[in-house]
Amino acid sequence: MHGFAYKNGTLHCEDTDLQALAQEHGTPLYVYSSGTLLDHYKRLDQALDGVDHEVAYAVKANSNLSVLRLLAEEGAGFDIVSAGELFRVIKAGGDPKKCTFAGVGKTREEIEYALKHEIYSFNVESEAELRYLNEVAADLGVIAPAAVRVNPNVDAKTHKYISTGKSENKFGVDFEAISDLYARAASELKNIHLRGLQMHIGSQLTSIDPFIEAVDKVAPLASQLKADHGIEFWSIGGGIGIVYEDSLQAGSEAWWSSKSDEERPLTLAQYGEAVVPRLKDLGLKILLEPGRAIAGNAGVLLTKCLYEKKGSAKTFKIVDAGMGDLIRPALYEGHHDIVPIKEPAGEVRKVDVVGPICESGDFFCQDRELPDFQPGDFIALMSAGAYGFVMASNYNSRPFPAEILVDGGTATVVRKRQTLDDLIAGES
């Protein structure tokens, strides 16, 4: 569920009119619901009641300082993948001692930065990385906390670009090799503290089955590593999917209750009900690393229709946002519901919604039946709170959009729109 709905004929974020925001701040414009962010975080936290746990928000999903601050104030931990993300967490008031550092290509500078800030653990992706971590820690005269990422070879049945738990993916160490790696590390790597175990099988999973398969497969390994090496935590990853199609309707509890068990997407409560019984007797702290599940449906991208172009084969609605603002549709045909800010009541037409960038891949939808909005009208691209602004670029020398965080009827600019001068800052 989320805080976006039509009220008095216009789309609102909580109690804030998005038409008014678009007119005041211009477009493209990202808008986030603080109430939705907090609700999703709390639902995940409650879903893991019964086990010692921590929700470690995946910063890569949405790294705006105000979003991070909101979650830090609720006690969230953070899953980071770069020194820059750790820097952001610290600047937002987050505790580096509640950060786990993932990613396959950590540099020496990043490792040193994280060690100096005493992060909770490095999630190590290979034996080579573990040995390099030991080397850097020895040079600094410290002990590096580490967890190796196990690749359980479980098919998450998600898009190939966001699958991470199969043997052909670049992430993690093969399941069969983990025990021997921990044994070698314990005897040879004197500047490594084997603190935990980590796994992640993919993103945007809307079925519980892959999660259950992975947990059932890896749980005995986690128990063995606890007995042999005294590990204290098991990070079971993230990957819980969100509703992209019917996104606006999914903000209502009535939409969820109208679905049969077979039709209803995986809920946070169902996830907890399935995994908690499998985790509660392990005696390990459980880390959960959700990003999209917290932020995805908490944000929209507002854009303005500039022109309508009618061709012999298609009708194009040309808007002022492009793939540089939201790349998911162009990158892997990610779906985003598109809704007019003014509540529609008229006809529906089959159109392509496209941006201004000089690429044929610069589209938000193709051959989709949509309400017939007109040039000058504002529309919202739903479910844009995760992997939206964080993947933005200045391609075609287009400035980054602004970001706004809404709390009830209060809208705060949490990132100013980039200026043309900002575009060339640092160049000569």
Instruction: Tell me how far apart the alpha carbons of residues 64 and 385 are, in angstroms, rounded to a whole number.
Output: 10
Please report, to the nearest 10 degrees, the dihedral formed by the alpha carbons of residues 201, 204, 210, 212 taken in order.
Answer: 90
The DSSP element (H or E) to which 127 belongs, if any, is helix 127-140
Structure tokens at 199: 């796994």
- CA 328 from chain centre, in angstroms, equals 12
Instruction: Tell me how far apart the alpha carbons of residues 92 and 94 are, in angstroms, rounded to a whole number.
Output: 6
Residue 77, annotated ligand binder? Answer: no
Residue appearing with tokens 């509540």: 343
Residue 292, annotated ligand binder? Answer: yes
Residue 398, annotated ligand binder? Answer: no
* CB-count exposure of residue 170 (10 Å: 0-12, 13-18, 19+): exposed
The answer to whether 84 and 103 are in contact (CB under 8 A) is no
- Told to judge if 358 belongs to the known catalytic residues of this protein, a careful annotator would answer yes
Backbone torsions φ then ψ of 370, nearest 5 degrees: -135, 155
What is the DSSP pairing of strand 378-381 with strand 299-310? antiparallel
* Catalytic-role residue among 13, 99, 305, 358: 358
Q: Where are the alpha helices (DSSP H) in 190-251?
A: 209-229
Residue 289, annotated ligand binder? Answer: yes
Residue 296, annotated ligand binder? Answer: no
Grouping H, G, I as helix, E, B as strand and the rest as coil, residue 421 is helix
Residue 426, annotated ligand binder? Answer: no
Instruction: Tell me how far apart the alpha carbons of residues 413 and 392 are, in angstroms, rounded to a whole number.
Output: 18
Contacts of 47 (CB under 8 A, 6+ apart): 268, 269, 271, 272, 273, 276
Nearest to 35 by CA among 7, 4, 63: 4
Residue 131, annotated ligand binder? Answer: no
CA angle 93, 94, 95 (to 5 degrees): 120
Residue 24, annotated ligand binder? Answer: no
Residue 239, annotated ligand binder? Answer: yes
- CA distances for 190 relative to 19, 126, 136, 143, 149, angstroms: 60, 17, 12, 8, 20
Q: What is the DSSP string of 147-165?
A: EEEEE------S-GGGB-S
Q: What's the length of the chain?
A: 428
277-303: burial string, b at 16+ Cβ within 10 Å, e else: eebeebebbbbbbbbbbbbbbbbbbbb
Structure tokens at 201: 């099988």
Angle subtended by helix axes 83-91 and 65-72, to nearest 10:
60
Binding site: what residues are annotated? 239, 289-292, 328, 332, 359, 387
Residues known to be catalytic: 358
Binding site for substrate: what residues are annotated? 292, 328, 332, 359, 387
Binding site for pyridoxal 5'-phosphate: what residues are annotated? 239, 289-292, 387
